[in-house]
């Protein structure tokens, strides 16, 4: 489907997909953050895997940990199955291994525990990417940048407002984008000269294999909880290694529109997750899922098309400014500015507005739902009202964020 360069042929990828995602609770009580639904039919991890696949990187190790079963099932039933990618590999998570082996203690420790896969490969480069962000990226461009600079490590960089930079690893660069200083989640982030923004790490790295093995083996002598941001990158800078930043804004993918450039979302909280989903239903969204030159791939399932039923004045099935997935039936109800996951049912005289419904949610007759997230397989009884009275929502056991998003889980 896509061109494969020599650089990507010589690259293996390690995807860190063990994130617990505590700030995204209660959606992450039964699943890891990379396994949370996004945009109706997708999982969050589908974005990084699509970027790797579209970039021509086919040997991918997915490192799972927390509540790994559902995520591994998704990978097995979609990526490993329908794409026929024998090269794609799902690593066995520590929670399913022998009791003598420990859970990951840091991002670099997770890679260290699977170092044997890197050592036994004939790869020149390792792409280490997180599995819990929403974006599109041609990773082959970052690998080529790494190769041209003869870098030991290249860090994907995002320009963020100063007030947001405290959540990231922040660094300074020289005129050649070589990193001169790095601080993990600093209280006073260093600004880009002449601007009110900072360079922040996206947590995505390209390593030269020999250097990665060297720094991990050395780092584990000093840190049991070895972490790239806290330990590895500062140690590499101190040793004089070639550390470069790759500006994500320079990355271009086929079919990209100008407004899409630099789009990257952390979706680490309920509010940011809700906002990123709602971004999709704008007339001209920053993240365009209809760009077939750079598709986001997932398990398509074997579902019939969505449909609407009834066309009476008092009972009309209609979906307005919404994403409605396969297998859905809007039966005499109204859906506005919402995302309805696969196999959803919205029954007569009901109203769903500004909401996200996960897979197989059934909304009963005369129900009203506003600014809510409804978890999968939930049945909303007839006449239920959600999102109009937050005191009543809390009394029913629903979670309500400060901005007024109601989360309904089992």
Quick one: which of 399, 403, 401, 366 has its CA closest to 385?
Answer: 366
**What are the structure tokens assigned to 256, written together?**
């990209």
**What are the structure tokens assigned to 240, written together?**
């004089």
Question: How many Cα atoms are found within 13 Å in the side-chain-facing hemisphere of 209?
Answer: 17
Distance CA(11)–CA(251), nearest Å, equals 18
Strand, helix or coil at 361? coil
184 is in an annotated binding site: yes
Count Cβ atoms within 10 A of the Cβ of residue 389 and give its class: 0-12 exposed, 13-18 middle, 19 or more buried: exposed
Count Cβ atoms within 10 A of the Cβ of residue 80 and give its class: 0-12 exposed, 13-18 middle, 19 or more buried: middle
Q: Which residues pair with 170 in a beta bridge?
A: 183, 200
Instruction: List b or e across 218-233, with b for residues whose CB sees 16 or more CB atoms inside 10 angstroms.
Output: ebbeebeebbbbbbbb
169 is in an annotated binding site: yes
Q: For residue 234, what are the CA distances in angstroms to 109, 184, 203, 229, 243?
A: 16, 9, 14, 7, 10
**What are the structure tokens assigned to 191, written together?**
């600004």
Quick one: which of 342, 345, 343, 337 has its CA closest to 365?
Answer: 345
185 is in an annotated binding site: yes
201 is in an annotated binding site: yes
Give the orientation angle of helix 45-54 with respect to helix 68-77, to 10 degrees.
40
3-state helix, strand, coil in the chain (%, to 5): 25, 25, 50
Strand ranges inside 273-359, DSSP E: 307-309, 311-312, 315-316, 318-320, 323-324, 329-331, 334-336, 339-340, 345-346, 351-353, 356-357
Binding residues for alpha-D-glucose 1-phosphate: 169, 184-185, 201
Binding residues: 169, 184-185, 201
């Amino acid at each position: 489907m896509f061109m494969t360069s020599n650089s990507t042929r010589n690259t293996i990828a390690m995807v860190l997909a063990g994130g617990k995602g505590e700030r995204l609770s209660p959606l992450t009580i039964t699943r890891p953050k990379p396994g949370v639904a996004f945009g109706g039919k997708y999982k969050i991890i589908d974005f990084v895997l699509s970027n790797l696949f579209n970039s021509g990187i086919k040997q991918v190790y997915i490192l799972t940990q927390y509540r790994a079963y559902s995520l591994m099932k998704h990978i097995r039933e979609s990526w490993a199955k329908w794409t026929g990618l024998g090269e794609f590999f799902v690593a066995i998570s520590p929670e399913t291994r022998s009791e003598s082996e420990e859970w990951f203690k840091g991002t670099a420790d997770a890679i260290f525990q699977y170092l044997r896969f890197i050592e036994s490969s004939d790869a020149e480069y390792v792409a280490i990417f997180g599995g819990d962000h929403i974006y599109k990226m041609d990773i082959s461009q970052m690998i080529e940048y790494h190769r041209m600079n003869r870098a030991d490590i290249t860090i994907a960089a995002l320009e963020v407002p100063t007030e947001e930079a405290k959540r990231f690893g922040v660094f300074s660069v020289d005129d050649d984008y070589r990193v001169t200083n790095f601080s993990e989640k600093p209280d006073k982030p260093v600004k880009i000269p002449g601007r009110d923004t900072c360079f922040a790490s996206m947590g995505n790295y390209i390593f030269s294999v020999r250097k990665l093995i060297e720094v991990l083996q050395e780092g584990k002598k000093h840190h049991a909880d070895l972490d790239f941001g806290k330990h590895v990158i500062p140690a590499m800078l101190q040793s004089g290694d070639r550390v470069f930043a790759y500006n994500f804004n320079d990355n271009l993918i086929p079919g990209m529109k100008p407004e899409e450039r630099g789009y990257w979302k952390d979706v680490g909280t309920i509010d940011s997750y809700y906002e990123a989903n709602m971004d999709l239903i704008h007339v001209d969204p920053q993240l365009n899922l209809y760009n077939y030159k750079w598709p986001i791939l997932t398990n398509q399932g074997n579902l019939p098309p969505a449909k609407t039923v009834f066309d009476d004045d008092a009972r009309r099935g209609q979906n307005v400014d919404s994403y409605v997935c396969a297998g859905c039936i809007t039966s005499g109800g109204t859906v506005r500015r919402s995302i309805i996951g696969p196999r959803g049912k919205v029954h007569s005289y009901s109203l769903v507005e500004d909401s996200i419904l996960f897979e197989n949610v059934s909304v009963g007759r005369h129900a009203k739902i506003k600014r809510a997230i409804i978890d999968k397989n939930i049945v909303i009884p007839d006449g239920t009202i959600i999102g109009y009275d937050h005191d009543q929502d809390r009394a029913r056991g629903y979670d309500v964020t400060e901005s007024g998003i109601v989360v309904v889980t089992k």
